[in-house]
Amino acid sequence: MLNPRIKEIWMESLKKIETAYRKFEEAAIKHAEATETGNYTQANKSYQVIAKSARYLKETNSIKQLSKLLDSESVGVRIWLQHIFCLFLNVMLCKYCKVLQVVIIFIR
């Protein structure tokens, strides 16, 4: 049986990870909305939450949990995921590589 104190610490850690995940998603949505309306103050605040949440998830080896948001309806969330994964994991999201290739070909 797990020591009650260890179990409590583990549960607190899981709650913090879930909170960081939720805050990342909410802030990415707010950032996109603020960017579209030109509200730079809200965009900057949202960026700070995105950065802090992503750093915490990386430090706790939980950054890959954000991949659950790949199918988010918010383009802001998907753009921030691409940025965070490329920055922290040095990977391209294969799921969207084909789309990006089509866009690059179209631009040329």
Over residues 39-92, the pLDDT tens digits come to: 999 999 999 999 999 999 988 989 888 888 988 999 999 999 988 887 776 654
The pair of three-digit structure tokens given for residue 21, joined into one six-digit string:
């995940």
* Residue 53 CA: distances (Å) to CA of 92, 94, 105: 20, 23, 34
Q: What does pTM read for this prediction?
A: 0.76
pLDDT class for 4, splitting at 50, 70, 90? confident
pLDDT class for 36, splitting at 50, 70, 90? very high
Rounded mean pLDDT of 16-22?
A: 93
Across the chain, what does the average pLDDT equal?
82
**Which residues, at least 6 apart from 10, have a Cβ–Cβ distance to it below 8 Å?**
2
